[in-house]
């Protein structure tokens, strides 16, 4: 098992990651806001994966072991906050909506020199105020712990377009639909259709970051039509996949 890097202080900075680039598992003693101004960012912990396009940021609590992965060229903006200061009151990774003002505040704060100037302090105060007001988004794909669910989830991760019912999938992994449904609820905290929709949305974001055409994304992710995909995507992200920011 690779050694987990420990960083006492969460950095506040901007860095660029190439498509497919990664930052290996690490943790720090501070909280951190992670935002991709370009591309799609995936943050993975032992509990699951959170994914964020340019309209979302991810809150990573102090002490959380996590890794980053870039889908598409990534402009990564990192904002560190002391562990004693938890303005959002969150103790688990959370996806936050980023409106245009919050985006500009994050970009400006991470690109200016880290000084104790009054101007930077005021910028930080407004940034935190806007973070407190940012709606939380349920864009989270939990990692199963039950062996039966590992098998089930591996099938659908390999092919998100697989549209078989839970009963049909159960015959492949050796369990009834009732057993799998109960396991999904207890282990993943959501229903099977909710989990499959989250998986498909995550996969769709990755494909869009790779500039795959919308119709092809809909097909590869298992929607019956491009219009059905567009409707689900708009409800999840607030805009259509055709207007999705990819860089």
| Domains of the chain, residue spans | 5-140, 144-243
CA distance 112 to 14: 9
Average pLDDT, the chain: 88
Residue 140 near residue 198, CB atoms below 8 Å:
yes
**Architecture of 5-140 per CATH?**
Sandwich (2.60)
pLDDT (mean) for 199-205? 91
Closest alpha carbon to 204 in 164, 150, 244: 244
Confidence of residue 239 (pLDDT cuts 50, 70, 90): confident
Query: Can you give the chain as a three-state secondary structure string?
Result: CCCCEEECCCCCEEEEECCCCEEEEEEECCEEEEEEEEEEEEEECCCEEEEECCCEEEEECCCCCEEEEEEEEEEEEEEEECCCCCCCCCCCCEEEECCHHHHHHHHHHHHCCCCCCHHHHHHHHHHHHHHHHCCEECCEEECCCCHHHHHHHHHHHHCCCCCCCHHHHHHHHCCCHHHHHHHHHHHHCCCHHHHHHHHHHHHHHHHHHCCCCHHHHHHHCCCCCHHHHHHHHHHHHCCCHHHCCCC
Confidence of residue 186 (pLDDT cuts 50, 70, 90): very high
Confidence of residue 59 (pLDDT cuts 50, 70, 90): very high
Per-residue pLDDT reduced to its tens digit, 86-129: 888 888 888 888 889 999 999 999 987 777 788 888 998 999 99
pLDDT (mean) for 19-36? 91
Per-residue pLDDT reduced to its tens digit, 71-80: 888 889 999 9
Confidence of residue 130 (pLDDT cuts 50, 70, 90): very high
Given this chain, do its domains 5-140 and 144-243 carry the same CATH topology? no
Q: Domain 144-243: which CATH class?
A: mainly alpha
Confidence of residue 1 (pLDDT cuts 50, 70, 90): very low
How high is the pLDDT of residue 243? 66
Confidence of residue 245 (pLDDT cuts 50, 70, 90): low
How high is the pLDDT of residue 2? 57
**pLDDT surpassing 90 at residue 209:** no
pLDDT (mean) for 178-188? 92
pLDDT (mean) for 196-210? 90
* Higher-confidence position of 167 and 116: 167
How many percent of the chain have pLDDT more than 90?
47
Buried b (16+ CB within 10 A) or exposed e, 38-68: bbbbbbbbeebbbbbbbbbbbbbbbebbbeb
Confidence of residue 174 (pLDDT cuts 50, 70, 90): very high
Report residue 124: phi and psi, to 5°: -65, -40
**pLDDT surpassing 80 at residue 38:** yes
């Amino acid at each position: 098992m690779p050694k987990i890097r420990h960083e006492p202080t969460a950095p506040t900075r901007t860095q660029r990651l190439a498509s497919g680039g990664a930052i290996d598992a690490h943790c720090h003693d501070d909280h951190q806001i992670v935002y991709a101004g370009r591309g799609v960012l995936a943050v993975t912990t032992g509990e699951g994966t959170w994914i964020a396009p340019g309209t979302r940021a991810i809150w990573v609590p102090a002490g959380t072991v996590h890794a980053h992965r870039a889908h598409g060229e990534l402009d990564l903006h990192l904002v560190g906050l002391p562990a004693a200061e938890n303005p959002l009151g969150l103790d688990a990774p959370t996806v936050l909506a980023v409106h245009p003002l919050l985006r500009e505040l994050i970009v400006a704060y991470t690109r200016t020199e880290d000084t104790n100037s009054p101007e930077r302090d005021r910028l930080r105060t407004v940034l935190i105020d806007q973070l407190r007001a940012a709606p939380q988004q349920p864009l989270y794909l939990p990692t199963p712990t039950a062996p039966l669910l590992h098998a089930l989830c591996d099938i659908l991760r390999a092919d998100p377009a697989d549209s078989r019912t839970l009963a049909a999938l159960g015959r492949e992994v050796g369990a009834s639909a009732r057993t799998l449904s109960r396991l999904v609820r207890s282990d993943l905290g959501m229903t099977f259709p909710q989990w499959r929709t989250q998986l498909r949305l995550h996969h769709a974001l990755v494909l869009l970051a790779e500039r795959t055409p919308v119709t092809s994304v809909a097909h590869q992710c298992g929607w019956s039509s491009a219009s059905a995909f567009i409707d689900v995507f708009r409800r999840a992200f607030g805009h259509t996949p055709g207007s999705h920011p990819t860089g």
